A and B are shown apart, each in its own frame.
Chain A
Amino acid sequence: MGAKRRSRFRVHIPWYVHITVILVCITLGHIAWLDFRIQSEFKGKRWPLPARVYASPVEIYIGQALTPGKIEKLLLDLGYKKVSVVNRPGTYQRAPSQVRFMQREFHFWDGRQDGQLIQVRFHNQKISQILDLNLQRTMPLARLEPTLIGRIYPDNFQDRVLVAQADIPSSLIGALLAVEDRNYFHHAGIDFRGILRALYSNISSGRVTQGGSTITQQLVKNFFLSRERTLTRKANEMIMALLMERRYGKEEILTAYINEVYLGQQGKRSIHGFGTAAEFYFAKPLNELRLDQIALLVGMVKGASFYNPRRHPARAKQRRDLALDLMFQVGYLDEATRVKAQSLPLDLSAKPRWSFSKYPAFLQFVKNQLLREYDIEDLRTKGLRIFTTLETDRQDVAELTTLDQLKKLERAKSLKPGTLQAASIFVQSSTGAVLSLTGGRNADDVGFNRAMHARRSIGSLVKPFIYYSALTNPQQYSLVSKVNDADISIRLADGAYWQPKNYDRKNHGRVSLMEALAKSYNKATVNLGREVGLKKVIDSIEKTGGISNLEPFPSLLLGAFELTPLQVSQMYQTLANGGFFVPVNSIREVLDEKGRALKRYSLDVRQALQTEAVFLTNFMLVQTINHGTGRSLYNIIPDKLPLAGKTGTTNDLRDSWFVGFGDDVMGVVWLGRDDNQSTLYTGASGAMKIWGNIVKRQNMKRIELSPPPGTGLLDNVNLPFGQSCITFSSIPYLLGSRPESIDTCVH
């Protein structure tokens, strides 16, 4: 009965209308949903951008010791091209005593540096003039753009250098339109004429030569859709392309496309966007590419690995020429330009040696410092630009020399190749800036970073801090005070006796502090340390920063505690810097994607050790190289260049250490084995050799010890030193505690 009543009001609607209504609703709903996706995802589209890490920019200034060849190398490393007339950024020309180049624009942390035309003249291996040719005036200094040394990738390993709409070369747009989508500026997202033309051309040629997808469709596909080839996907693609065109302007879509498109692969790293591709294939920014190079990249859109110009040069060239033909067909090029462009070689840059970092050990150190202040996700995706302190020429020297010397050392003692390992850190003493860092014999090895993580006994490297502690009490100790190098026996907590020996197994009797440290006598040092007190020694060491909770065992006086080379570098940085602590650091500035500084890493110092006592200690360390355990350094370094240094050797020759410093650079080298067996080398015969050979090729400046206020000098003192009598033209002391009686000698 109820059914009957209802049927009275019933209007007969055929089933197909029902279906249609439902379908329309579903379709509209679906379109609305697609539209929502486009709006929410595209509008706020932020590609995850890898962080980019830069080396320290090279500063060139008048009077600097630099040759034209060296500048040329720096420019080549930055991807500059040698030309006969410098007329574009990124080009240079070289004459015997002058180099002329046009800089690229670069955003430094302290502002933008425009592309200037610069001419550098040389005289006597030095820069005599720097000229800004546009403004016709001399410049006292110029700064080159820094080398990119690493990237920190997002999880998907997409590498992308964003290109802003204003920076897109018009030839790129011309080429893209000619090759991929001729009616781009006229269609509404789907190009039916294009589809028909593609169909015709494919049928007539018997194979698929042209696709009918518009640039918008391709972008939609890359952005939102899967790679599968189904009709549903195609339908979604078309709808979304239409929607996208309705929502956004042509330029906006084109820019997104140019930054999105996939153009190559290097290991895990995938190359996205034309900006990245320009860098990857030509080592240049996009706006420096030639027409034919742009045509090559555009040709590769169709299949980046199929047309990979490094692997399939002939195929890629054919594709490039086709792209140029198409550009000619649509009237973008004239005949002459086309012919000329097609005659050019591919001119690819060498395949990049690295995808993550050129200097993995250093980058690890940088990341370590960054992770203390930034979230890992931000590092990976926010497009940060990180400016570091690394000096690439020093780093290259350190890497090459380490490997080379290790091979020689192995050969000399018939060790199996690969047995020895080494790590090194060089730091600018006054700023704590790390100039180079190696973590093992093979620089490309991203494994165990010994500079940061290998904890080893430091042996005699501890000694200067014992002598420093003594010298902080000038009433009692001066450089010529005597200490007894005689047998010593210390009862330990477990009842055993500790009886340190000298390396040469001899006793040297009463010796001056200077001799005891320079010759690294163990017994004298332990005696001195006991006089001074363990607590005071530990206090001095801990004040240098980076080390804490040292146990007050007597064996500490001979360095029986473990530190990493990095910690050692911090210890000696404070010494080399006249007692002023500056954290050993690797980052100068971090900028966000827009070039705003996120954090300033200012030069902060702290007085940690007493300047005067440090000065005296450093004077002794100079004597260590002159007359002590470091003498043989002058077999490597010419002209007896005054340097300060200390050798360190641990039991059974397991670790060979050397720390040395010149005027403003301090370097630590550790040599050892991963299995902690004997290296067969002492500090002087092993680590110091590596150190010396690195420094020899780095132009280290002689140490200039400026006596701080409150110090005086004794002139021409003849002092017994080991077996000989040495004349010191000056020995410093603290004012108010001038040594009364000096045990001198006669020649």
Chain B
Amino acid sequence: MRSLIVNKVRVGKLKSTRLLIVNLLFCSACSTVHQAQRAEAPVVERSKTAISKDAAAKPARTAPPSFRREPAPAASKDTAAKPAGTVPPSFRREPAPAITKGVAVKPPGTAAREERQRIVKSPSEISGNPAVIALLNEADFETRQGSDEDAVNAIERAIRLEPKNPYLWYRLAVLRFKNHQWQQAVALAEKSHSLSGRRPELQKANAELIRRARQATSNR
């Protein structure tokens, strides 16, 4: 079994060096995520205190809201710069892309705009969970090896760990699309879309995938 994922190894000497390199890359990816999380931590704190103040001001006994609402600073600035008509006001306060944590450390503006054009994200941008990152790396590896089935396995394992991560569902949709399973590609992209909150780049990618899959179905 060719695999990067660390718990099933049958490594020869050659493979172990390769794994070492991958591992080093992986560690650097991890540290980026950690930095990203650290950088963002105060923001999250602030939003939390804002909520609790909010609650303290009111006498009612409402439970803490169960929305994901941490604002992502870089992205919200970006959208604020857009013409007001395209983005309804409520949108701005919508859930923080917990997942774009990696993006948040980048300086807002140009980098963020570039980001939006790039649909394919690196594993460490998709998730902050090392296990999910490892599985995504494995999926990438398997895809490069041409074994999509194993890539699907890895993504499904990742989804079991982080089922509300829209990027994982998108990745699965792409793999199905590659495999000419148009209907499933559409359904999975829709699922990704439903979880996409305010991630226009992902929404665009999903819409594109759905369009192409539908086209393929009608061509058939």
Q: Does B160 contact A (CB under 8 A)?
A: yes
Q: Does A234 contact B (CB under 8 A)?
A: no
Contact B150 A110 (CB under 8 A): yes
Per-residue CB contact flags for chain B residues 50-63 toward chain A (1 = under 8 Å, else 0) read 01001100111111
Q: Does A59 contact B (CB under 8 A)?
A: yes
Alpha-carbon separation in the docked complex, A580 to B163 (Å): 13
Q: A137-B6, A141-B7 are in contact. Are A431 and B160 (CB under 8 A)?
A: yes
Contact B6 A729 (CB under 8 A): no
CB distance from A406 to the nearest CB of B (A): 30
Interface set, chain A 710-731, CB cutoff 8 A to B? 711-713, 716, 718, 725-730
Residues in B whose Cβ lies below 8 Å from that of A663:
164
CB distance from A504 to the nearest CB of B (A): 21
Contact B156 A603 (CB under 8 A): yes
Contact A110 B1 (CB under 8 A): yes
Residues in A whose Cβ lies below 8 Å from that of B20:
137
Contact B7 A135 (CB under 8 A): no
Residues in A whose Cβ lies below 8 Å from that of B8:
108, 110-114, 143
Q: Does B95 contact A (CB under 8 A)?
A: yes
Interface set, chain B 38-93, CB cutoff 8 A to A? 51, 54-55, 58-68, 88, 90-91, 93
Residues in A whose Cβ lies below 8 Å from that of B212:
none
Interface set, chain B 1-48, CB cutoff 8 A to A? 1, 3, 5-11, 16, 19-20, 23, 26-27, 30
CB distance from B71 to the nearest CB of A (A): 13
Per-residue CB contact flags for chain A residues 231-243 toward chain B (1 = under 8 Å, else 0) read 0000000000000
Interface set, chain B 130-163, CB cutoff 8 A to A? 130-131, 133-135, 149-150, 152-153, 156-157, 159-161, 163
Contact A600 B64 (CB under 8 A): no
Contact A707 B94 (CB under 8 A): yes
Alpha-carbon separation in the docked complex, A606 to B190 (Å): 9
**Quick one: which of B68, B91, B187 contacts A607, CB cutoff 8 A?**
B187
Residues in A whose Cβ lies below 8 Å from that of B196:
708-709
Q: Does B103 contact A (CB under 8 A)?
A: no
**Quick one: which of A108, A132, A605 contacts B191, CB cutoff 8 A?**
A605
Q: Does A62 contact B (CB under 8 A)?
A: yes
Contact B197 A63 (CB under 8 A): no
Interface set, chain A 583-629, CB cutoff 8 A to B? 600, 602-607, 611, 622, 626
Q: A140-B134, A600-B149, A709-B193 are in contact. Are A116 and B9 (CB under 8 A)?
A: yes
Residue of B nearest to A56 (CB): B160
Per-residue CB contact flags for chain B residues 150-188 toward chain A (1 = under 8 Å, else 0) read 101100110111011000000010000000000010011
Contact B95 A706 (CB under 8 A): yes
Alpha-carbon separation in the docked complex, A428 to B159 (Å): 11
Contact A730 B67 (CB under 8 A): yes
Contact A729 B65 (CB under 8 A): yes
Contact A135 B11 (CB under 8 A): yes
Residue of B nearest to A732 (CB): B67
Q: Which of A485-493, A671-679, A697-705 contacts B (4 or more CB under 8 A)?
A: A697-705
Contact B197 A709 (CB under 8 A): yes
Residues in A whose Cβ lies below 8 Å from that of B152:
602
User: What is the total number of residues of chain B having a CB less than 8 Å from a CB of chain A?
Assistant: 66
Q: Does B101 contact A (CB under 8 A)?
A: no
Residues in A whose Cβ lies below 8 Å from that of B60:
718, 725-727, 747
Q: Does B203 contact A (CB under 8 A)?
A: yes
Alpha-carbon separation in the docked complex, A591 to B184 (Å): 24
Q: A143-B7, A706-B95 are in contact. Are A431 and B58 (CB under 8 A)?
A: no
Q: A132-B6, A580-B194, A716-B58 are in contact. Are A430 and B159 (CB under 8 A)?
A: yes
**Quick one: which of B51, B67, B160, B203 contacts A707, CB cutoff 8 A?**
B67
Residues in B whose Cβ lies below 8 Å from that of A605:
184, 187-188, 191
Contact B198 A729 (CB under 8 A): no
Alpha-carbon separation in the docked complex, A143 to B8 (Å): 9
CB distance from A635 to the nearest CB of B (A): 14
Q: Does A139 contact B (CB under 8 A)?
A: yes
Alpha-carbon separation in the docked complex, A730 to B68 (Å): 12
Contact A111 B188 (CB under 8 A): no
Q: A642-B63, A702-B66, A725-B60 are in contact. Are A708 and B194 (CB under 8 A)?
A: yes
Residues in A whose Cβ lies below 8 Å from that of B16:
135
Residue of B nearest to A588 (CB): B156
Contact B58 A428 (CB under 8 A): no
Residue of A nearest to B1 (CB): A111
Contact A664 B164 (CB under 8 A): yes
Alpha-carbon separation in the docked complex, A59 to B195 (Å): 25
Alpha-carbon separation in the docked complex, A142 to B149 (Å): 21
Alpha-carbon separation in the docked complex, A64 to B162 (Å): 12
Contact B90 A735 (CB under 8 A): yes
CB distance from A404 to the nearest CB of B (A): 28
Contact B6 A626 (CB under 8 A): no
Interface set, chain A 639-671, CB cutoff 8 A to B? 640, 642, 663-664
Contact A141 B194 (CB under 8 A): no
Residues in A whose Cβ lies below 8 Å from that of B188:
605
Interface set, chain B 105-145, CB cutoff 8 A to A? 129-131, 133-135
CB distance from A240 to the nearest CB of B (A): 43
**Quick one: which of A64, A142, A702, A706 contacts B197, CB cutoff 8 A?**
A706
Contact B10 A114 (CB under 8 A): yes
Alpha-carbon separation in the docked complex, A420 to B188 (Å): 42
Q: A111-B8, A607-B187 are in contact. Are A729 and B62 (CB under 8 A)?
A: yes
Residue of A nearest to B16 (CB): A135
CB distance from A628 to the nearest CB of B (A): 12
Q: Does A328 contact B (CB under 8 A)?
A: no
Residue of B nearest to A736 (CB): B88
Contact A606 B187 (CB under 8 A): yes
Alpha-carbon separation in the docked complex, A725 to B62 (Å): 11
Contact B66 A705 (CB under 8 A): yes
Alpha-carbon separation in the docked complex, A732 to B26 (Å): 40
Contact A62 B66 (CB under 8 A): no
Alpha-carbon separation in the docked complex, A116 to B10 (Å): 10
Residues in B whose Cβ lies below 8 Å from that of A728:
62
Residues in B whose Cβ lies below 8 Å from that of A135:
9, 11, 16, 19
**Quick one: which of B3, B68, B135, B198 contacts A704, CB cutoff 8 A?**
B68
Q: 12 more A-B contacts (CB under 8 A) besides A62-B131, A709-B203? A: A110-B8, A113-B7, A135-B11, A137-B19, A139-B6, A430-B159, A431-B156, A603-B156, A709-B193, A709-B197, A729-B62, A747-B59
Query: Can you name 17 A-B residue pairings with CB atoms under 8 Å?
Result: A59-B161, A63-B129, A109-B153, A110-B153, A135-B11, A430-B163, A430-B164, A602-B152, A605-B184, A663-B164, A702-B66, A707-B67, A708-B197, A713-B94, A727-B59, A729-B65, A735-B88
In the complex, the 5 A-B pairs of residues with the closest C-beta atoms, listed nearest first? A111-B1, A712-B90, A61-B131, A430-B163, A727-B60
